[in-house]
Structure 1
Amino acid sequence: MELGKVINVLIKKKGLTQVEVANRIGKSPTALSQIIKGNYNPNPDTLQKICDVLEVPQPILYFLTISEEDIPIEKLELYRMLAPSIKDFLIKIFGEEKKELLNEV
């Protein structure tokens, strides 16, 4: 899943609007929309602000961008074997409240 799509899903899960998030990160709604659509990659500062607003650490955000379609077929079995352990590891590091995000996105 693309970074923008993950951000959009998390915005919805938090019950926020794109306008609210844009205001909180100091960007225009258009700029945030461009990030969500994948037309623009956020700089590290903007990405951190988005993570702060969504209360999601960057490692979890990046992990959520990985889907089985991103994995080469010859490594898919390994990914399927390791992904649950990685999710558990991230939950232990960042807290139980992130479990729902990791299991639903």
Structure 2
Amino acid sequence: MTIGEVIKLLLKRKNISQLQLAEKIGKSTTAISQIVKGQYSPTAETLDKISKVVEVPVPIIHFLTISDKDIPDDKKQLYNLLAPSMNKFLNDIFDI
């Protein structure tokens, strides 16, 4: 997933609209829309503000962007074994 896709997922799971996020972090709805669509990458400062609103730490947001395409071939079997447990763990802790 891209950062935008992760943010979109988190907003949906936390029942926060793009308008509400924009108001809470001082950005326009257009900027939020561009981030969610992957047309614009959020700055570290913006991502930090977003993470506070969705109550998910920035490193976890980055972790959620990892897919099996990012994993070296010799590690994919281990990744595929651990990924479901990690995703469940993150869901249980952060309500993702």
Bin of the TM-score, shorter chain as denominator length = 0.7 to 0.9
CA shift, 1:79, in A, is 1.9
Please identify runs of 4+ aligned residues in structure 1 that moved more than 3 A: 81-85
Partner of 2:21: 21
Query: What is the CA RMSD across the aligned residues, in angstroms?
Result: 2.1
- The 10-residue stretch of structure 1 (14-23 or 60-69) with the greater mean CA deviation from structure 2: 60-69
Partner of 1:66: 66
> 1:47-100: CA deviations, max 9, x gaps?
000000000001111111112233243331132245467x38x75xxxx532x4
One-letter code of the match for 1:48?
D
> TM-score, structure 2 length as denominator?
0.83
Identity %: 50
Partner of 1:51: 51
Stretches of structure 2 lacking an aligned partner (at least 5 in a row): none
Stretches of structure 1 lacking an aligned partner (at least 5 in a row): none
Distance 1:33 1:70 in 2: 26
